[in-house]
Structure 1
Amino acid sequence: MLHVVSTGHDFADATVTLPVGVRDLSPRDLPACTWSGSATHLRSVERELARAAHGEVDYLAVCTPVDLPVAIGGIDYQAREGAGTLWQLAVLPALQGRGLGTLLVRAAEQRVRHRGLRRAELAVEEDNPRARALYERLGYVAYGREPDAWDEEGPDGSIRRHETMCVLMGRDL
């Protein structure tokens, strides 16, 4: 369930509760996922969905009752031997802090267990303390660091390289 509390000045305070569900992300969902990243990112997600069709990865979506994705993320079964690697985890910014990230991670861990694996791992950017705090609350423990890099598309269509340092975290399931 998703709980949203409104405290606007022009209307009475209201609490809205919506059921959400988790399912596989599909190519038809991508136009509704522009909040998750640039066009370059969405092309990357589209490529990962092709890998999902071959069983190499799972890509999940947390959806509202009208079937719109509000959180998405993948699990790569080939990145690290003996573990499912969670990556590209994202929650619609306006709904962050409402439990959707927790639901997404727990659903991903369940998929990892169904594959017969007993460990989940992920990498979180060092400059993202909010995400790291979530993963720590969910039982993930830091075990190392590694650099990461990817191309990002700017608003003008230019491509620039994003380089960062990530904390590697894992959890036995």
Structure 2
Amino acid sequence: MIDVVLSLSVRELTYEDLASCGWAGTPLHLVSMARQLERVRAGEVDYLAVCARNDIPIAKGGVDYLVEHGVGTLWQLAVHPALQSCGIGTVLVSAAERRIKDRGLRYAQLSVEDDNPRARALYERLGYLVHDRRPEAWDEQAPDGTTRRHETICTVMRKDLS
């Protein structure tokens, strides 16, 4: 076995990054990412990219400050599939938590689908506790290009950053 050490940096996600983020989802998801970048300009969200030395995003995610008063809500978290379970998600979540604290907020919150135990295990390891459960839904693009509604139950997890 060979160990590989990645030198990572975290920065703002940009429109120019979208072309290299096809791993993050369908074309419909990339359109959603572009819409969220508009919200960055308004100060409503932070949208972060974790990059290796070549400065191409290998993970991305946002913090929405308007979902719940006094809470930074992490969303659209994703790590390149080939690089999952390498600690990159931890780097991303930690950077997002720093942004939340820098805004003077006490809590970080996120939702995880009940059928995603790997992600939930990560969040629990990082100190997130179950706060609520609720149905959530969003539009997804099917392989044939059609759009369908995805409905699921999510566990809302929260972390006290104080």
Q: Give the drift of 1:17.
A: 1.8
The question of 1:61 aligning with 2:53 is answered no
Q: Partner of 2:152 in structure 1?
A: 164
- Superposition pairs of residues 1-173 of structure 1, within 5 angstroms: 13-173=1-161
Q: Give the drift of 1:73.
A: 0.3
Provide the rounded CA distance (Å) in 2 between the counterparts of 1:17 and 1:119.
31
What's the C-alpha RMSD, in Å, of the aligned pairs? Answer: 0.8
* SS of residue matched to 2:133: strand
Q: Give the drift of 1:110.
A: 0.1
* SS of residue matched to 1:67: coil
Provide the rounded CA distance (Å) in 1 between the counterparts of 2:150 and 2:40.
25
Provide the rounded CA distance (Å) in 1 between the counterparts of 2:126 and 2:41.
29
Q: Give the drift of 1:112.
A: 0.2
Q: Deviations over 1:84-128 (max 9, x none)?
A: 000010000110000000000000000000001011000000000
* SS of residue matched to 1:16: coil
Aligned AA (2:159): R
Q: Give the drift of 1:143.
A: 1.4
Q: Deviations over 1:1-52 (max 9, x none)?
A: xxxxxxxxxxxx4332220100000010001111111111111111000000
Provide the rounded CA distance (Å) in 1 between the counterparts of 2:95 and 2:19.
23
Provide the rounded CA distance (Å) in 2 between the counterparts of 1:42 and 1:150.
14
Q: Give the drift of 1:71.
A: 0.5
The two structures have a TM-score, normalised by structure 1, of 0.91
Identity of aligned pairs, percent? 58
Equivalenced residue count is 161
* SS of residue matched to 1:120: strand
Bigger Rg, structure 1 or 2: 1
Q: Give the drift of 1:155.
A: 2.1
